[in-house]
Structure 1
Amino acid sequence: MSDVVITVRGEHETRIAPERAIAHLTIRAEGPERGAVVERMAALTEPVRDDLASRKSAGTVSEWTSQRVSVWSERPWNNEGKRLAPVHYATVDFSVTFTDFAVLSWWAGEVAEREGVQLGWIEWKLTLETRASVEREVATQAVGVAVARATAYAGALGLAAVTAVELADVGLLTQQAGPEMAPAPRMLMAKASFASDGAGGGPAVQLQPEDIVISAAVEARFAAR
């Protein structure tokens, strides 16, 4: 009796709590004079830089960067359809990496109160070592699912011996009808909300980090007899 070819897919996913949080913020200044706007942005930026440098020295911030300094001008329109005098803008973007999420919450509440500061989004990540380890484990589990599935199919046909012939990421197995993208690891973002503390104080930041989902899918071809 000739071998029966069985082609299956194996999937697996896992959820893991984030280990790093990267906060993104922008400092912005605007006004009628370009030079004054640039100086104002520098003045607003300096205390933020000093604070982050201090936090990094203390170990509560693992790293931070400031980049993408932008300066531009626009001429707005008034209600009568006439162009007004130019308004100049200047911005600089920061990204700050925290390992302690409680410290991040306090810092976010403080920095959001600063003039000219716009707190953007929080990006949740794993360390490179953890991600690599989890991806290997998830891939191994996906292969195990494929083997178990092929073995079950073979058993239903009254066949006992199952031998792997091909194994590939989804869409890379030979003689496929068309390419198909494998599910990519997904990174879920946090929800950051600002609310009054009810006592006339500054805004409090509530961070709700969601688990990071890492998934893998494989296709495999087996010969059963």
Structure 2
Amino acid sequence: MTIEPTTTEIITTGTAERTLAADRATLHLRVSVTDANREDAVRRAAELHAALVRRAEALVDAGDAERFEADPLTTSSSSWEQDGSRRTEHYAGASVRALLLRLDLVGELTAELATTGVDPSVEWKLSDEVRRSVESELRGEAVADARARAEDYAAAIGTTLGAVLEVREPGSAGGSGGAAFADARFARAAAPAVVVTEGQLEVSASVTLVFRSA
């Protein structure tokens, strides 16, 4: 009887990380007005919104922003009883988003607009070209890290590394789940996750490889 040699599966997870300076910033601008008079609330919110749209258009025309999006005005009302009488408050609000190319304007714009009754916030981003390039590089580095780990384990148990049987991304079928995506915009990327701090993005990739021992 011939005894077939046994093979061992070696499963390793490789990671790669990089900290990058953002090269884009989305400026989220929200206007909201509340008033006991619905017409006044709508009028004031519409004026603020129109001013934001003009400001965003000027940024695009000057080449300081790539594009902008403006949401339509929304309204709502709420009523309650107070001191034996019925009170009603009307709300009107809208948002504008501008994708800035000049990051040196972020602080100036947020400070300027905050004084006009606008609620500003900033989302730091990478351009699509840079993001795709970095994601591709990190995937390769994560694979190399996983292979190096597997080679170490193979040597430690006295065997050699054979063919790759399986490649798993975090969250894929059969995988262990891996790290959660920190930014939904990158969820379509293989493993890259993004953690954002002011002006900086920590991008990471993770992959699990299943090898057969030779």
Residue 193 of structure 1: aligned partner:
none
User: Are 1:150 and 1:162, in contact at CA under 8 Å, matched by a contact in 2?
Assistant: no
1:88-107 equivalent positions in 2, closer than 5 A: 88-107=90-109
SS at match of 1:84: strand
Equivalent position of 2:112 in the other structure: 110
Structure 2 residue aligned with 1:75: 79
Matched, 1:63 2:71: no
Between the aligned partners of 2:9 and 2:207, the Cα distance in structure 1 is: 17
Give yes or no for contact 1:151–1:162 (8 Å, CA) kept in 2.
no
Distance in 2 (alpha carbons) for counterparts of 1:83 and 1:74: 14
Which of 33, 37, 40 is the matching residue for 2:37? 33
Tell me, yes or no, if the aligned pair for 1:125 and 1:187 is still in contact at 8 Å.
Answer: no
The Cα of 1:221 is off from its aligned counterpart by: 1.7
How far does the alpha carbon of each residue in 1:92-114 deviate from its partner, in whole angstroms, 9 at most, with x for none? 11112112121121111111111
Matches within 5 A, 1:1-225: 1-78=5-82, 80=83, 82-114=84-116, 116-119=117-120, 121-170=121-170, 172=172, 180-183=176-179, 184=181, 185-190=193-198, 209=199, 211-225=200-214
Of all paired residues, the percent bearing the same amino acid is: 25
Structural RMSD (CA): 2.1
Residue 184 of structure 2 corresponds to which residue in structure 1? none
The structural deviation recorded for 1:58 is 0.6
**What is the aligned partner in structure 2 of residue 194 from structure 1?**
none
Distance in 2 (alpha carbons) for counterparts of 1:30 and 1:49: 21
Structure 1, unmatched stretches of 5+, are 191-208
- The answer for unaligned runs of 5 or more in structure 2 is 182-192
Residue in 1 that maps onto 2:186 = none
What is the distance in 2 between the residues matched to 1:59 and 1:76?
48
- CA displacement at 1:172 relative to structure 2: 4.3
2:188 alignment partner in structure 1? none
> Where in structure 1 do 4 or more consecutive aligned residues deviate above 4 Å?
none
